[in-house]
Structure 1
Amino acid sequence: MTHLYQVDGMTCKSCIAKVKSELLKLGEITDAEIQLTYPQARLTMSSHVSVSTLQKAVAKAGDYKITNAGGMQVHESGGDQSKNWLKTYKPLLLVFAFIIIVASMASFRDGDFHTMHWMHYFMGGFFIAFSFFKFLDLKGFADSYSSYDLLAAKWYSYGFIYPFIELGLGLAYISNWQPLVTSVVTVLVMGFSSIGVIRAVMNKRKIRCACLGAVFNLPMSTVTIVEDLLMVAMGIIMIAGLA
């Protein structure tokens, strides 16, 4: 069986070597793939090893902490995979659900449902909510974002600027300020951001998705691609409707 874990405290190749060495000393672990990006440890076991046992092992290597990577396990049955998928993405699904409900309620005017109004409220709520989670740990977000975003990888400070861009877009949508300009900026920003996401997923990189900042350990997946491209598609629809 193979499990994925998050290991906090590693900063260099020396850390990787020390952590791997201690983990492989456990007889039940037959293989250990360690990296600096999330999830940092991919452990193959002949029999299950508890997290507390793993923690004792990595503690011998230094000031490191190992935890389950969002409850993810590789090579599970279909039922277990579905349960773990829901558990892993529950925060993201809840955020989307709340935004959809609020946007829908706000879009009913005089008994009629206005699609364009709904899109304004949805996108405004999306950007404001997602920027909020990023602001909770700006540095943590910047670290995660720089691991896959093309611009943040070359210009680390962009990771600190990006949440402000999202917040600005959210406020612009809610207040209906320059809707055409706002939609164009959305398409450009989210379209460019999606390139790094798509590349990471296509390369099967096991890293943390920074969409909800560093608060939740969400793995990068096609869910992230859909999220980004949905914003791009809605932005294009709004541009077409305003043109």
Structure 2
Amino acid sequence: MTKSKPDIARLYRMVMPDHLCPFGLKTKDLLERQGFSVEDHPLTTREETEAFMEEHAVETTPQVFIGGKRIGGYEELRVHLGVDPPFEEQSDTSYKPVIAIFSVAALLALGLSFHQYGTVLSVRAVEWFISLSMTILAVQKLQDVESFSTMFLNYDLLARRWVPYGSVYPFGEALAGILMTAGVLVWISAPIALFIGTIGAISVFKAVYIDRRKLKCACVGGATSVPLGFVSLTENLMMMAMGIWMPLRSFLL
């Protein structure tokens, strides 16, 4: 049986001394992984690129042609190949950031537990998971405190009454998370976690479940695609739980 030849795709992308288009590389890689034979046409000068865009009435490169038909750039190619859903079905919200954060925090907690106790099944592993989650989430917010505090004002009840609270919040969350990870100064970390967690939980519950508002969550920073709701409520409930548990744990032990 004769093996069929791979489909041919023509790719036009910028390959200049001072600029190698990253989307051009990603497009070429995607086509090859999908089994296409790529006819690569590098656009090596600004003049050549502008002439190409004018000829085909496009504003960007790369551009892909399959079967004589122009498909478009990298994002259009992903839709054409079925990698992504059609643009009209795509959502501007995603849980990927928090899934990544909680997954990494969980694995770190399990690793620390195994290193310290020789087992991943320990109470400290649960504590580390929450405290590390708090710390990583705080880092996300601290990358752009101004942007975070602006989004935070959409729903946080205390920030609406005292605007600077939005700028203080990430530092408080980071401090509480770091101290709880170390297991020291519980008399500082526990009240902070309990306070910001309680205010946050009430604010999110009111905004989402009482007022029925559809907002973006500031939990992973100001440039977020995570919808406000279960994730943010969970973050705050975890802080509340740690704020109660850590002093109780110190008393019991």
Question: Shared fold (TM-score greater than 0.5)?
Answer: yes
> Against the structure 1 CA distance between its residues 137 and 110, is the aligned structure 2 distance closer, same or farther, given a 3 Å change threshold?
closer
Structure-1 separation of matches of 2:110 and 2:146: 34
Structure-2 separation of matches of 1:178 and 1:191: 20
Alpha carbons 1:136, 1:215 under 8 Å: kept: no
Alignment-derived partner of residue 132 in structure 1:
139
Structure-1 separation of matches of 2:208 and 2:125: 30
Structure 2's unaligned 5+ residue stretches are 1-88
Alignment-derived partner of residue 181 in structure 2:
174
CA deviation profile, 1:23-68 (whole Å, cap 9, x unmatched):
xxxxxxxxxxxxxxxxxxxxxxxxxxxxxxxxxxxxxxxxxxxxxx
TM-score, normalization by structure 1 = 0.60
- Larger RCO of the pair (alpha carbons < 8 Å, separation 6+): 1
Q: What percentage of residue pairs aligned between the two structures are identical?
A: 28
After TM superposition, the structure 1 = structure 2 runs for residues 1-243 of structure 1, keeping only pairs within 5 Å, are 88-108=94-114, 109-113=116-120, 115-202=122-209, 203-243=211-251
Alpha carbons 2:169, 2:196 under 8 Å: kept: no
**Shift in Å, 1:84:** 7.3
**Shift in Å, 1:114:** 6.2
**Shift in Å, 1:119:** 3.4
Alpha carbons 2:194, 2:240 under 8 Å: kept: yes
SS at match of 1:214: coil
**Shift in Å, 1:146:** 1.1
**Shift in Å, 1:101:** 0.4
Alignment-derived partner of residue 33 in structure 2:
none
Aligned residues: 163
SS at match of 1:219: coil
Structure 1's unaligned 5+ residue stretches are 1-82
Structure-2 separation of matches of 1:143 and 1:185: 21
CA deviation profile, 1:141-171 (whole Å, cap 9, x unmatched):
1111111111111111111111111111122
- The answer to which structure has the higher strand fraction is 1
**Shift in Å, 1:238:** 2.9
SS at match of 1:88: coil
Structure-2 separation of matches of 1:133 and 1:226: 17
Alpha carbons 1:194, 1:228 under 8 Å: kept: yes
- In terms of Rg, which structure is larger? 2
Alpha carbons 1:180, 1:242 under 8 Å: kept: no
> Against the structure 1 CA distance between its residues 152 and 144, is the aligned structure 2 distance closer, same or farther, given a 3 Å change threshold?
same
> Against the structure 1 CA distance between its residues 110 and 141, is the aligned structure 2 distance closer, same or farther, given a 3 Å change threshold?
closer
Structure-2 separation of matches of 1:88 and 1:123: 22
**How big is the alpha-carbon RMSD for the aligned residues of Structure 1 and Structure 2?**
2.6
SS at match of 1:218: coil
